[in-house]
Amino acid sequence: MTEKPGDPMPDFRLPDPRLVTRTMAEVAERSQRIVGDFLKRQAETDANPDPLNIGGAFMEMTSRLMANPAKLMEAQLGFWQDYITLWSHTARRMMGGDPGPVIEEPRGDRRFKDDAWRENEVFDFIRQSYLLAARYFTTAVNSADGLDEKTAQKVDFYTRQFVDAMSPANFVLTNPEVLRRTAETGGTNLLKGLSNLLADLERGKGKLRIRMTDDSKFRVGENIAVTPGQVVFQNDLMQLIQYNPTTETVLKRPLVIFPPWINKFYILDLRPKNSFIRWAVDQGHTVFVASWVNPDESLADKGFDDYMREGVLAALDAIEAATGEREVNAIGYCLGGTLLATTLAHMAVRRDNRIKSATYFVTLTDFAQPGELGVFIDEEQLTALEGKMDKRGFLDGREMATTFNMLRANDLIWSFVVNNYLMGQDPFPFDLLYWNDDSTRMPARMHSFYLRRMYQQNDLIKPNVLELLGTKIDLRKIKVPTYMISTREDHIAPWKSTYRATQVYGGKVRFVLAASGHIAGVVNPPDSGKYSHWINEDLPPDPEAWLAGATELAGSWWPDWHRWASAMDNTQVPARKPGDGQLKPIEAAPGSYVRVMAVD
């Protein structure tokens, strides 16, 4: 049989019967252990048939649709008209015609990148049939009138989860690339994929934990998180790392970075070529970073106020002891930025002016529109989550990782299902995905407060409603110069929501918008030549008006930030090394806290 372009089926090789026999025996043995682990875990937890509170939302949506059958009929009629057109176009193609497509997937959708999806008439029909059905489902559920905003958002989100799951790319018999691979290998890919699936179930002890990268290729402190430095201070919640200078003189004012404790700090120090920490050191900053503990049940009672006291405020004391400098520039990333803003409001009341400038990486302070994460914040889900945390003392990091992965299911779930289980390939070693899988726990008290008082009730933005460390929190009292970097495709901290803080802070604010998303838009070194950024000195109340008046500049925003930060105080002093001051090194960077994994 001669293979032609777009033909998914080359000559078929029969599988090795010995390999099939060995694989099936291995499946039987491993499956017993997996089922045992699953049943044990189920016995230890309260089974909730609807932990995400989806059923009620879809029941309400269905009743709303039934109340207006004309609109549903209109959507169905449009779908069937499109489907008949697709049948007609496919028939014309089979007879040698060249009709245009009825529907195309959005730009950037990589599920249908294989040429056979377009060049082969059958698979082109399957692809377009799926896209038409997907459009019909989303149109139908979005046409239900009278749903409150939260319910409508939940229905839309989980409809898209279902639609993504049902993509023909996710099934052996409807994916031309998988069929081609199966024919070429005699089905060995499916046997290897089955082995990969069992390994992932074993990793999750009966719950699927998809391996996204070859984690054997990475070692924290050996080939990632390798910028030289020393841990100079530690307490229950953090280790404070001071990095070795690479310049003869440095800026007098040290720089301290507070990453989110939802993830580990080394997203800012993956490899030398994309490390923000190393780059900042090379620009002449004396850099300190908080490396947060990966908490266990012993820290269940640590709250947001403890992260203020034992995190930001403790770091400022330690930096003064290490360098003799009272004044610092501070950066907060995501939740670390929310912590920084909250602590700055507290410090303003106490007339504590040690932080002279604040930089916020993709930080929410107004949670009125938190994006799709809001789907997971309602009373039923919070109550169920708190029940779990009360038993364990913390939120399991893997549960949070699953939530974030669902926000980009095609990229972070289904692409790996296809690659690992259908194609039978091992995941590629990728430092960012290794970091993404290196999840962290969240203390029960802190996480409940964060979700309820900030996400659910949006109390942080309300003046004098939150009280922490004996102080009423009012973000309007923050008067320090502020630099805000947000990213245009952020699915965790939507840029239009982060922009709202520009109208709140009392000091001079510079807002910069970067291309790409929550991670790639931030971790974008100048040498990479990737991703542009937008700048506009004016700060109108409407974010769209800001963007309309902004100037797009090529490349990374990092140099713009350095010019801004160094302009605060450009005084130079001899370079400082860890241990020069009152604090002596405890251990080499990246320290021991970062090495504790959530599965330990």
- Residue 166 to residues 4, 49, 196, 324: CA-CA distances in angstroms? 28, 22, 21, 60
At 60 the pLDDT is 79
Q: Which of 407, 486, 468, 398 is nearest to 439 (CA)?
A: 398
Phi-psi region of 186 (alpha: psi -120 to 50; beta: other; left: phi over 0): left
Q: For 587, list phi and psi in degrees, rounded to 5.
A: -165, 165
Q: Which two tokens stand for residue 285?
A: 């900053």
Which residue type does 195 have?
Answer: S
In terms of C-beta density within 10 A (0-12 exposed, 13-18 middle, 19 or more buried), how is residue 495 classed?
A: buried
At 537 the pLDDT is 95
Q: Which of 78, 139, 152 is nearest to 372 (CA)?
A: 152
Q: Which two tokens stand for residue 541?
A: 């109340």
**Calpha distance 243→322 (Å, rounded):** 12
DSSP letter assigned to residue 288: E
DSSP reduced 3-state for 55? helix
Q: How many CB atoms are located within 10 Å of the residue 419 CB?
A: 18
What string of H, E and C letters represents the secondary structure of 527-580? HHCCCCEEECCCCCCCHHHHHHCCEEECCCCHHHHHHHHHHHCCCEEECCCCCC
| Chain center to CA of 335 | 12
Residue of 179, 319, 322, 334 with catalytic role: 334
Q: Which two tokens stand for residue 557?
A: 């925003």
pLDDT by position in tens, the chain (length 600): 344 445 555 565 655 556 555 655 565 555 556 555 555 655 555 556 666 677 777 787 788 777 777 777 888 888 889 889 999 999 998 888 888 899 999 888 899 999 999 999 999 999 999 999 999 888 888 877 778 888 888 888 888 898 899 999 999 989 999 999 999 988 899 889 988 888 888 887 777 888 999 988 999 999 999 999 999 999 999 999 999 999 999 999 999 999 999 999 999 999 999 999 999 999 999 999 999 999 999 999 999 999 999 999 999 999 999 999 999 999 999 999 999 999 999 999 999 999 999 999 999 999 999 988 888 888 888 988 899 899 999 988 878 778 888 888 888 888 999 999 999 999 999 999 999 989 899 999 999 999 999 999 999 999 999 999 999 999 999 999 999 999 999 999 999 999 999 999 999 999 999 999 999 999 999 998 889 999 999 999 999 999 999 999 999 999 999 999 999 899 999 999 999 999 999 999 999 999 998 764
Q: Which residues contact 332 (CB under 8 A, 6 or more apart)?
A: 257, 258, 338, 339, 340, 341, 358, 359, 360, 361, 363
Q: Which of 427, 424, 417 is nearest to 169 (CA)?
A: 417
At 406 the pLDDT is 83
- Residue 295 to residues 226, 288, 382: CA-CA distances in angstroms? 23, 21, 20
The residues that bridge with 328 in the sheet, in sequence order, are 355
At 8 the pLDDT is 53
Q: Which residues contact 445 (CB under 8 A, 6 or more apart)?
A: 300, 301, 302, 303
C-alpha dihedral sign at 161, 166, 172, 176: negative
Helix and strand element counts for the chain (H, E): 21, 17
Q: Which residues contact 295 (CB under 8 A, 6 or more apart)?
A: 237, 302, 394, 440, 441, 442, 443
pTM above 0.85, yes or no: yes
Strand order in the sheet with 551-553: 551-553, 533-535, 509-514, 482-487, 355-361, 328-333, 255-258, 287-292, 238-243, 229-234, 587-588
Name the strand (E) or helix (H) holding 329. Answer: strand 328-333
**Calpha distance 489→491 (Å, rounded):** 6
Please indicate whether residue 592 is annotated as part of the active site: no
Q: Are 80 and 140 in contact (CB under 8 A)?
A: no
**Calpha distance 434→220 (Å, rounded):** 10
Q: Are 264 and 296 in contact (CB under 8 A)?
A: no
Q: Are 311 and 469 in contact (CB under 8 A)?
A: no
